[in-house]
Amino acid sequence: MRAISLHRDVIVVTSRLLQTNCTIVRGPVSADWRGAGDAPPAGETFVLDSPILPDELALLPSLIEQARLPQPRGLLATHADWDHLLARIPFPDATLGCAESSALRLQSEPGAAQRELRAFDERLYLVRDRPLQLGAVQALPVPGSCGIGDAQLELHQAEGHTADGMAVWVPWAGVLVAGDYLSSIEIPTVGAREGIDSYLATLERLGPLLARAEHVVPGHGPVLDAERARAVLTHDAEYLRALLERGGAAELPPGRRSRAQRELHAANAAAL
């Protein structure tokens, strides 16, 4: 697991597996605090998405403590895929929030995330100290906002990769947590032809945020600066339009043409 600081209020943790990103956000504190003193300033911390491996999840509370951030009162999941929900394991008492579309998906697919996690663990011989228990989920209106301390996180609709989801903009830090979009290591994946239109609409919505962003955190892969993220957005949109026009003959985005990405492309073409 790797942890990097993007801002004094934002830490990104990247899993050793699938390069899955988890973003830790603290509500902004007074500008004159420089880390002196025995305790962190009063504030509120949220954990967005999650790493995957059991030891990585177990380390999250101590990592937050070492960074002198308050332990999280809230968790946010950009969408309802199982690999974005695992922060409930180390923080079982924290409220889990997600877009209304994700809450409806979880309600309509009871136990699906737990079954998918169990199948994943069995394939890799992973053992977890406790099961994934989602408990009550807070449905958040998207587009909208979510309070964190005295500030607000902006919630933006992000659908296409799945039929649910949101991206989270951290305005005072200039950080966009994009969910499973804008990855420089993975091509866009869609489950049906109509998903392409939704995906393109999401990219269009994310574009103006990139003009203000210092950093973009995709669901998988390295954190990007705004210039690199704009290039990924352009290549993703070009790929999706080509997929609509040419199906399996569409050219993959630059830098994402490995065997694994070609297999994802074949699945995209088969779903049309």
Model pLDDT for residues 172-196, shown as the tens digit of each residue: 999 999 999 999 999 999 988 888 9
Task: Say whether pTM exceeds 0.75.
Answer: yes
Look at residue 155 in the predicted model and tell me its pLDDT.
Answer: 98
- Tokens 């990855």 sit on residue: 183
Kindly report the average pLDDT of the chain as a whole number: 93
Domain boundaries, the chain: 2-271
Separation CA 109–CA 113 (nearest Å):
8
Separation CA 271–CA 264 (nearest Å):
11
Mean pLDDT, residues 255-269 taken together = 96
Is the separation of the CB atoms in 40 and 65 below 8 Å? Answer: no
Separation CA 252–CA 184 (nearest Å):
12
Superfamily of 2-271 according to CATH: Ribonuclease Z/Hydroxyacylglutathione hydrolase-like (3.60.15.10)
Residue 268 pLDDT > 80, yes or no? yes
- Residue pLDDT, tens place only, 125-165: 999 989 999 988 999 999 999 999 889 999 999 999 999 99
Is the separation of the CB atoms in 120 and 18 below 8 Å? Answer: no
Both structure tokens of 239: 């790929």
- Residue pLDDT, tens place only, 78-98: 999 999 999 999 999 999 999
Q: How far is CA 224 from the centre of its chain?
A: 14
Task: Please provide the distance, in angstroms rounded to a whole number, between the alpha carbons at the two ends of the chain.
Answer: 37
Least confident of 1-5, 31-35, 140-144, 235-239: 31-35
Separation CA 47–CA 72 (nearest Å):
7
Nearest to 120 by CA among 152, 86, 162, 71: 86
Least confident of 21-35, 52-66, 158-172: 21-35
Residue 41 pLDDT > 60, yes or no? no
Both structure tokens of 55: 């030891």
